[in-house]
Structure 1
Amino acid sequence: MSISQADQSPLVSLRDVRFAYGEREVLRGIDLTVHRGQVVAIMGGSGCGKTTLLRLIGGQLRASSGAVEVEGRDLAHMPRSDLYALRRRMGMLFQFGALFTDMTVFDNVAFPLREHTTLPSGMVRDLVMMKLQAVGLRGAHALKPAELSGGMARRVALARAVALDPMLIMYDEPFAGLDPISLGVIGRLIRRLNDALGASSIMVTHDVHESLLIVDYIYFVSEGRIVAHGTPDEIRASTDPFVHQFVHAEADGPVAFHYPAPPIDGLLQGRRP
């Protein structure tokens, strides 16, 4: 980052955030900070609350307790009109892209511009072509999503996510299902577009290797809590058992493979599960 983090307030700040779906508590006191210009990764096992964090930051969910602040404003106390205005300054890349299948590439990227602005059609066209040029797909503007490869579809989704030049871009598993070449291309695009827009990015991902190459900071979540965090260099050098298991994809460690259950020997002897 070119600007000292100490000289600026955080863009996103979560303080002692808790959240539950009914009786099931998902987040148990999360503290997390994202500074302007940063690319931050949130990692952890499936079901640990990573995507829920994105939905809280985006305002789709409201924390049970604690504070979720964007630009110093607590989302829980914002009028709905202000919250919607703030969300228009956020971009979201959904898992697997979530493109509109009956629209062309051009219309997919143009959708947020047409939905949220009153720009003339000529300007919309120019902006769409500029975004597609940035992800290397200007020549595919007339294609439908069914005609794209997985990597191409993800790049179109990325162009749509940054169509309104957002201050904050959130990515839900941007590397899922991609081949190694496409994965590297998407990773570099995330970093380059973040820097070019002067934005901040929050990325939920399981891909440790690619994340360590492009992010500024990483948070590890387990059982609804932040269990470790640090820069890529700090994560690589960490001796924390959870971090070591996750980074090196080891079967044995703090993260258990089996969901809690009684011993199987009793089940095999005819007892009820």
Structure 2
Amino acid sequence: MQHPLQGIRIVSGTLASFVESVVPLPVTEPADTPLVCLRNVRFAYGEREILRGIDLSVRRGQVVAIMGGSGCGKTTLLRLIGGQLRASAGSVQVDGQDLARLSRDDLYALRRRMGMLFQFGALFTDMSVFDNVAFPLREHTDLPPELVRDLVRLKLNAVGLRGAEGLSPAELSGGMARRVALARAIALDPMLIMYDEPFAGLDPISLGVIGQLIRRLNDALGASSIMVTHDIHESLEIVDYVYFVSEGRIVAQGTPDEIRASTDPFVHQFVHAEADGPVPFHYPAAPLAASLLGEGAP
């Protein structure tokens, strides 16, 4: 019989200090096996192909960033890894399990070992901060209310918001809401945490706090993290590896130092926020002079 605390890791502390009390999770794969592995993954919405042969892996303990322009397929990758979508071709494996081969119950069991921080937090607006963080614990465990209470307070303490447990989402700043969403994402001590634009809309202080929390919580929990983001400078300070996606393909990859030093035109344009390059400033059109003279299509 599984211990009622199996898989619950209690994390407490500040950005500079984390204290853990751990009941070990069962290890199903060797430590050197990638936790997430995508091989030749293709995906399309109807006739519109989004991903065209993606190869990507995330090792245990890594924080990995997926970057690229809007609409290139980054969030679709998160949905494939989370099992919300099924690849048209290729394989998506998480913890050694091929998602396409899992039954509904097995997929749901695997997803309970994943955490997700949605863009802008996506808190339940009619619930308090406490109840937002308690939601996955109440939904997926049979822990007694006293233990749920203590775990929620410890998770909120880990993100610096234990004193805000009675507030509603409407009373939170953008940065506070993102930290509450992060506490909710780690409530079940997931093996994999996914972030969809975690820095969007944040002021510089909040952005720095969220970045450091992502790194420190990943290390404290012994988890792996995948982060879809446009924020180059903050991301390169905290991640271990970066994948660049363009037109549904991985066009560049490397460590932060390799990305900073890259001479690849696409990477250089993206990292330095240049207006023109492989991604052109102008949408394809006839020459301006010809259009002004009434030649060609309007």
- What TM-score results when the alignment is normalised by the length of structure 1? 0.95
Matched with 1:61 is 85
| Distance in 1 between residues matched to 2:38 and 2:61, nearest whole Å | 17
Partner residue of 2:19? none
Which residue does 1:138 correspond to in 2? 162
> Secondary structure in 2 aligned to 1:186?
helix
- Residue equivalent to 2:186: 162
CA deviations 1:37-76 (Å, max 9, x no partner) are: 0000000000000000000000000000000001111100
Shift of 1:260: 4.0
Distance 1:69 1:115 in 2: 25
Aligned residues: CA RMSD = 1.5
Mapped to 2, the partners of 1:160 and 1:182 lie a distance apart of 18
Residue 256 of structure 1 and its aligned partner are, at CA, apart by 2.2
Separation in 2, partners of 1:7, 1:169: 18
- The answer for the alignment partner of 2:60 in structure 1 is 36
Match of 1:234 in 2: 258
What is the match of residue 22 of structure 2? Answer: none
Determine the structure 1 residue equivalent to 2:109. Answer: 85
CA gap of 1:78–1:259, structure 2 versus 1, over 3 A, is: farther
Offset at 1:261?
Answer: 4.6
Q: Please state how far the C-alpha of 1:217 moved relative to its aligned partner.
A: 0.1
**Cα shift readout 1:62-101 (whole Å, capped 9, x = no counterpart):** 0000000011111001111100000000000000000001
TM-score, reference length from structure 2: 0.87
Unaligned runs of 5+ in 1: 1-5
Amino-acid identity (%): 83
Unaligned runs of 5+ in 2: 1-29
Aligned to 2:235: 211
Distance 2:264 2:151 in 1: 46
- Residue of 248, 268, 273 corresponding to 1:244: 268
Q: How many residues align?
A: 268
Equivalent residue, structure 2, for 1:15: 39
Hey, what does 2:27 align to over in structure 1?
none
Cα displacement string for residues 4-47 of structure 1 (whole angstroms, at most 9, x for unaligned residues) = xx960100000000000111100000000000000000000000
> Judging changes above 3 Å, is the alpha-carbon distance between structure 1 residues 259 and 63 closer, same or farther for their aligned structure 2 residues?
farther
Q: Which residue of 2 aligns with 1:191?
A: 215
SS at match of 2:65: strand
CA pair 258-127 structure 1, distance change in 2 beyond 3 A = farther
Q: Which has the higher helix share?
A: 1
